[in-house]
Amino acid sequence: MKAALENILDRPKNQKLGILAGSIVLILAAYYFYLYSPQADQVAQLSESVEAARNEKGIKEKRASNLPKFQKELRELDVRLKEAIAQLPSKKEIANLLTSVATTAQESGLDILLFRPRAENYKDFYAEIPVDINIRGTYHNVITFFDGVGRLKRLVNIANIGSKNPKMSGDQVILDFTTTATTYRFLEDAERKKIAEEKAKAAKAKK
């Protein structure tokens, strides 16, 4: 261990910065993976909860006519439905959510070099919205950013963390970080129907 450390210290400045940058990325990736990175199955479970609650609510609405018991259950279902949907924004809320992510980066002391949403990726009940992000700052800035993203009410997954161009600024190392932030939104019935129809047409065209 001591010999390895001395070997690193004896290297040219650029190599030492490169090793430091790589170490920072590994630490950042581990930090976010274990503390804040939501898993895809969590999103799927939320989507299924929304769907199940909506179906159950529809059934009980038909039975609820003036029956206190069913009316109470209906109110409880409505609360559950709202809680589940609250974590998966609608299409019109996505712009505000992305603005919140960008603002969190700026408030963390990072310079935003790139913030580019990509095309949506449709699943059964929800859509993934990946955003390519390039930011510049210190290790501390990025940790603060990850912490802020983890505290957002909506689900945002940070992945594919990379870094380059390490530079010294005073006694701090400044790096350019690349990452992908993925958020999710619930698909409304009309959207799901349209997507299913388009997939059916595409499958038919391949035959």
| CATH number, position 169 | 3.30.70.60
Q: Rg (Cα) of the chain, in Å, rounded?
A: 23
Residue 54 belongs to a domain: no
Digit-by-digit pLDDT tens for the chain (207 residues) are: 334 334 433 445 554 455 455 556 656 666 565 555 555 566 667 667 767 777 776 666 666 555 666 667 667 766 766 666 666 667 777 888 899 999 999 999 999 999 999 999 888 778 889 999 999 998 889 889 988 988 887 778 888 888 888 888 887 888 899 999 988 887 877 888 888 888 888 777 776
Residue 154 belongs to a domain: yes
Residue 105 belongs to a domain: yes
Q: Which helix (H) or strand (E) segment is 102 a member of?
A: helix 94-107
Q: How many domains does the chain contain in total?
A: 1
Domain enclosing residue 92, as ranges: 2-45+88-202
Per DSSP, which regions of the chain are E strands? 111-117, 121-122, 126-137, 156-169, 172-186
Residue 33 belongs to a domain: yes
Residue 125 belongs to a domain: yes
Query: Tell me, what's the pLDDT at 3?
Result: 44
Query: Tell me, what's the pLDDT at 205?
Result: 78
